[in-house]
Amino acid sequence: DGGITQSPKYLFRKEGQNVTLSCEQNLNHDAMYWYRQDPGQGLRLIYYSQIVNDFQKGDIAEGYSVSREKKESFPLTVTSAQKNPTAFYLCASSKGAGETQYFGPGTRLLVL
C-alpha cells in the first residue's frame, strides 16, 4: 500500500524535552511538508522540503527543526524552545512543490 505514515499517534512531552515526530512516505514524492493544527483552526505551515537535503521555513518555524536526509523521510523535532507545543501535527507529501498534497494520519502532541 502506498501512503504516508506518521508515528506515534499520541506523544507526550515533558517540560524542557525535545521530541521527534516521524513521517515516512513510499509514494516516491519529492516534496514533503509539516503543518500544525490547533483546535478549530486551519493548517499552519512549519517547514517544507522540495528535495532531499534541502528545506525551507514556513510561517511558524520557531521552536522546530527538520532534516531531509532521505527522500522517504522528513522527521520533525519539537524543541524545548517551542513554548506551546500542544497541537495536532500533520505531515504531507506531493509530487512537486505546490501540487496536490497527500496527508498522513497525524500525531497529537500533549505536554505533561
Partner 1 sequence: SQKIEQNSEALNIQEGKTATLTCNYTNYSPAYLQWYRQDPGRGPVFLLLIRENEKEKRKERLKVTFDTTLKQSLFHITASQPADSATYLCALEGTGRRALTFGSGTRLQVQP
Residue 45 binds partner 1 (CB under 8 A) = yes
CB of 45 to partner 1, least distance (A): 6
Per-residue DSSP letters for 43-54? Answer: EEEEEEEEETTE
Q: 97 or 110: whose CB is closer to partner 1?
A: 97
28-66: string of b/e by CB count within 10 Å (b at 16+)? ebbbbbbbbeeeeeebebbbbbbeeeebeebebbeebbb
Under the criterion CB under 8 A, does residue 109 sit at the interface with partner 1? Answer: no
Regarding 85 and contact with partner 1 (CB under 8 A), the answer is no
Binding flag, residue 98, partner 1 (CB under 8 A): yes
Pairing of strands 31-37, 43-51: antiparallel
Rounded least distance, CB 23 to partner 1, Å: 11
Among the listed ranges 11-19, 34-42, 66-74, 75-83, the one in contact with partner 1 (CB under 8 A) is 34-42
- Classify 90 as helix, strand or coil: strand
Instruction: Give the cell for residue 17.
Output: 524535552
Query: Is there binding between residue 103 and partner 1 (CB under 8 A)?
Result: yes
